[in-house]
Amino acid sequence: MRLVLWLWFLLFSTLVWSSWSLSSDGAALLALSKSLILPRSLRSNWSASDATPCTWNGVGCNGRNRVISLDLSSSQVSGSIGPDIGRLKYLQVLILSTNNISGLIPLELGNCNMLEQLDLSQNLLSGNIPASMGNLKKLSLLSLYSNSLNGTIPEELFKNQFLEEVYLHDNQLSGSIPFAVGEMTSLKSLWLHENLLSGVLPSSIGKCTKLEELYLLYNQLSGSLPENLE
């Protein structure tokens, strides 16, 4: 009898703890906020005592209380983006633009393979664009402009048939424009100006039949426009 009562007590305790404890997405956001420094006004309702983070400032959820959007744009956010961002498996929109965020773009961002919109523009980010971002196959908007990103543009990044808008201008990106640019068959806008890109414009860009805007000024490119683009 005592054993049965003890088992019931354990079950009840587990259910109560589950109802009171913060969801995994909420825990991920709190962990993220240890490196990503939010102003007090923004973080005022980010509480570990909540069951979900769905009412927190800047956070949006779906009907199952999973975090699908995080918009902290123009909010005086500083610090860096930690690896815990990769724990938000259902994230579709991440907008952290126009802040003072520094450091590297974490490799773990590539784990957010539901992302459709990613905007980290107008910050103080440095280092390379991680090749793991090539895992973001549902991405339609990629905006990383006005940072201090360097290194080459990963070939994997452009292997995406859903990308419509790519804004990488005003950085320090070098090397050539990836030949995989031709795989962005939905591409409408490609802004690569004000970088250190060299070489020729790949002929494969002619496959981007929906392309409306192409900005390449202030680079070190050579050669002529591909015939299929003229």
Q: What is the pLDDT of residue 226?
A: 81
Domain that holds residue 46: 22-221
| Average pLDDT for runs of 10 along the chain of length 230 | 47 43 97 97 95 98 98 98 98 99 98 98 99 98 99 98 98 98 97 98 95 97 80
The whole-number pLDDT of residue 1 equals: 52
Compute the distance between CA of residue 139 and CA of residue 165 in angstroms, rounded to an integer.
Answer: 9
Answer yes or no: is 11 within a domain: no
Domain membership of residue 75 (yes or no) is yes
Domain assignment of residue 200, yes or no:
yes
Q: Encoding tokens for residue 131? A: 């090749």
Q: What is the pTM (predicted TM-score) of this model?
A: 0.90
Q: Is residue 4 part of a domain?
A: no
Could you give the number of structural domains in the chain?
1
Q: Pick from 213, 128, 101, 121: which is nearest to 170 by CA?
A: 121
pLDDT value of residue 230: 56
Query: In this structure, is the dihedral angle defined by the CA atoms of residues 136, 137, 141 and 145, taken in order, positive or negative?
Result: positive
pLDDT of residue 5: 43
- Report the CATH number at residue 143: 3.80.10.10
- Residue 228 domain flag: no
Q: Greatest CA separation found in the chain?
A: 86
Residue 5, in any domain of the structure: no
Distance CA 142, CA 40 (A): 29
The residue length of the chain stands at 230
Does 52 fall in a domain?
yes
Q: What share of the chain is helix, strand, coil (3-state, %, to 5)?
A: 25, 25, 50
